[in-house]
């Protein structure tokens, strides 16, 4: 085996070992499914080409895995995360091997699989995780197209980019990145024919979701504008938000990796490094502007870190590559250990993983009350509804969202709003609306996430929920 190919079996062995350990830890994970995870699971039970806040691929994937496993347990809902990130690490290694050498390829795979956001994404299923291998694949095939001018690689670039878009709209950052690389660097111009093939393949994959949005009042577009904040309320400069977001990226990407990436942006030494910088910068730049104008969550710039991982590794000296991985191993080990020990440790008398505990207990108590009384369950709380649908997946208790006033604020209000003509219902809320007050209520468990809320089950007439 040549030295140039020797990196692959070593990288495959290391990535497979880390992935296997993550799956083992996941089997004993004590953290309950988070509200987003149960929402994604529920989407998969209702096949469609789009959902309220995200494109459909994550719902389809969870449905496929849980159907094949014959179980919707938290392990199977989350299992794809570790596997997808393992695949992404190897795909990025293949790209690094094309652009640099075997050593850079190996350290790219190892660095990616140990990144903090990858460690977290291997414990919780998210749209970032489902997007990751397709985003990385699009970069690989884009590079291959530019090197070989092959039509097949161009089509694969568009297909991967489209699949990434169907996982999370942030995959759109691939387009300005590739355009910048093509404009600046002659070696990264795929040619007009191949560019057209990429566009056609990309458009063919995303067309069903585009049509779904057009026939559903642009639901996901509306939600995206809600998230942007300043689109609705007007822009204002929020330097604190910008500083907080920028600082958070050292936790998302790892401190040494992030410093290396910034250095790679400032001092790209050769064509491949310049191309990787241009592929990476758009996602981070756009989200930095968003953070300045309103707010931005720490994971919103993840699209920068696929090409960014290769760039960071390429500018690091061998010693610093080892240091970067060693630093990143701390959260890689700590995060799964915390899920194994939950509800310990506690901080200020509260479990450190409080937001991932107590949800199932409340849902099961509410479902038991509703089943005993023969009543449907109703709530206007997205967190409550998400877990109720998951815990009540046997279908014995009908579950509905309180009808929205105006535009729906969740998938549940959009697709599972309470129908007219119901009689008595069991409302799960901290307090009943004014039109429903005076009725009997029952206390629900207050632990984990719900410890700070007095969530109760209210016995009310459905009609009063229309008279809010």
User: Tens of pLDDT along 74-123?
Assistant: 999 999 999 999 999 999 999 999 999 999 999 999 999 999 999 999 99
Q: Please tell me the predicted confidence (pLDDT) of residue 2.
A: 47
Instruction: Quickly tell me which residue has 């609705």 as its tokens.
Output: 232
Q: In 3-state terms, what secondary structure has residue 159?
A: helix
Task: Give me 280's structure tokens.
Answer: 């990476």
For the cut 70, the answer to whether the pLDDT of residue 218 exceeds it is yes
Whole-number Å distance between alpha carbons of 369 and 431 = 17
What is the dihedral angle through the alpha carbons of 462, 463, 465, 468, rounded to the nearest 10 degrees?
A: -170
Residue 378 has pLDDT above 70, yes or no: yes
Quick one: pLDDT at residue 64? 98
pLDDT (average), residues 152-176: 98
Give the mean pLDDT of 42-65. 96
Q: Is the pLDDT of residue 4 over 60?
A: no
Per-residue pLDDT at 226: 62
377-379 and 424-429 beta bridge pairing: parallel
Count helices and strands (H / E) in the chain.
Answer: 20, 7
| Averaged pLDDT for residues 310-338 | 97
Tokens of 18: 């880390």
Residue with tokens 């639901």: 219
Query: Per-residue pLDDT tens for 384-429?
Result: 999 999 999 999 999 999 999 888 889 999 999 999 889 999 999 9
CB burial of residue 125 (10 Å; 0-12, 13-18, 19+): buried
Nearest to 431 by CA among 356, 387, 381, 362: 381
Q: For residues 78 and 19, what is the distance between their CA atoms, to the nearest angstrom?
A: 13
Whether pLDDT at 1 is above 50: no
Local confidence band at 233 (pLDDT 50, 70, 90 cut-offs): low
Confidence check: pLDDT of 237 > 60:
yes
Helix (H, G, I), strand (E, B) or coil at 378: strand
- Give kind and range of the element (H or E) at residue 111: helix 102-113
CB atoms within 10 A of CB 327: 16
* Under 8 Å between Cβ of 282 and 308: no
Tell me what pLDDT residue 229 has.
59
Q: How many CB atoms lie within 10 A of CB 113?
A: 30
DSSP 417: B
- For residue 272, give Cα distances in angstroms to 132, 262, 263, 317, 458: 21, 16, 15, 17, 62
Tell me the mean pLDDT in the region 238-255. 96
Q: Mean per-residue pLDDT for 14-22?
A: 98
Which positions ≥6 away from 149 have C-beta within 8 Å? 190, 191, 194
Q: Nearest 5°: phi and psi at 441?
A: -140, 160
pLDDT score at 363: 98
Question: What average pLDDT does this structure show over 146-162?
Answer: 98
- Taking CA atoms, 190 is separated from 53, 78, 158, in Å, by 33, 37, 12
Torsional sign, CA 287, 250, 273, 147: negative
């Amino acid at each position: 085996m040549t030295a140039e190919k020797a990196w692959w079996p070593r990288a495959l062995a290391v990535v497979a070992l880390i992935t296997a350990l993550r799956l083992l830890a996941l089997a004993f994970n004590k953290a309950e499914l988070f509200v987003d995870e149960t929402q994604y699971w529920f989407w998969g039970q209702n096949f469609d080409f789009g959902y309220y806040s995200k494109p459909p691929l994550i719902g389809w994937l969870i449905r496929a895995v849980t159907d094949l496993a014959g179980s919707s347990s938290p392990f199977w809902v989350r299992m794809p995360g570790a596997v997808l990130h393992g695949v992404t690490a190897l795909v990025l290694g293949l790209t690094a091997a094309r652009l640099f050498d075997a050593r850079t390829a190996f350290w790219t795979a190892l660095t990616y699989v140990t990144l903090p956001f990858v460690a977290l994404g291997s414990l919780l299923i998210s749209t970032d995780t489902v997007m990751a291998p397709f985003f990385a694949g699009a970069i690989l095939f884009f590079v291959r197209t530019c090197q070989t001018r092959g039509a097949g690689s161009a089509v694969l670039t568009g297909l991967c980019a489209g699949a990434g878009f169907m996982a999370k709209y942030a995959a759109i950052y691939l387009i300005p990145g590739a355009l910048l690389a093509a404009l600046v660097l002659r070696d990264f111009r795929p040619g007009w024919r191949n560019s057209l093939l990429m566009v056609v393949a990309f458009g063919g994959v995303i067309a069903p979701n585009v049509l779904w949005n057009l026939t559903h009042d642009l639901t996901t577009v509306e939600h995206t504008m809600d998230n942007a904040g300043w689109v609705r309320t007007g822009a204002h400069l929020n330097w604190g938000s910008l500083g907080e977001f920028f600082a958070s990226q050292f936790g998302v990407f790892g401190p040494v990796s992030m410093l290396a990436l910034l250095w790679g942006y400032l001092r790209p030494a050769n064509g491949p490094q310049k191309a990787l910088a241009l592929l990476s910068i758009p996602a981070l730049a756009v989200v930095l502007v968003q953070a300045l104008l309103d707010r931005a969550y720490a994971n919103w710039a993840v699209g920068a870190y696929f090409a960014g991982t290769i760039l960071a590794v390429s500018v690091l000296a061998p010693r610093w590559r080892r240091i970067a991985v060693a630093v990143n191993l701390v959260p890689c080990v700590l995060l799964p250990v915390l899920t194994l020990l939950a509800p310990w440790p506690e901080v200020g008398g509260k479990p450190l993983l409080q937001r991932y505990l107590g949800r199932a207990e409340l849902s099961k108590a509410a479902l038991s009350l509703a089943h005993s009384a023969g009543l449907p369950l109703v709530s206007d709380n997205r967190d409550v509804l998400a877990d109720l649908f998951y815990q009540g997946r046997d279908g014995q208790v009908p579950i509905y969202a309180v009808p929205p006033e105006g535009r729906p604020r969740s998938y549940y209000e959009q697709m599972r709003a309470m129908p007219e003509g119901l009689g008595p219902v069991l409302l799960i809320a901290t307090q009943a609306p004014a039109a429903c007050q005076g009725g009997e209520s029952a206390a629900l468990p207050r632990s984990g996430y719900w410890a700070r809320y007095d969530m109760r089950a209210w016995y009310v007439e459905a009609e009063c929920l229309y008279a809010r």
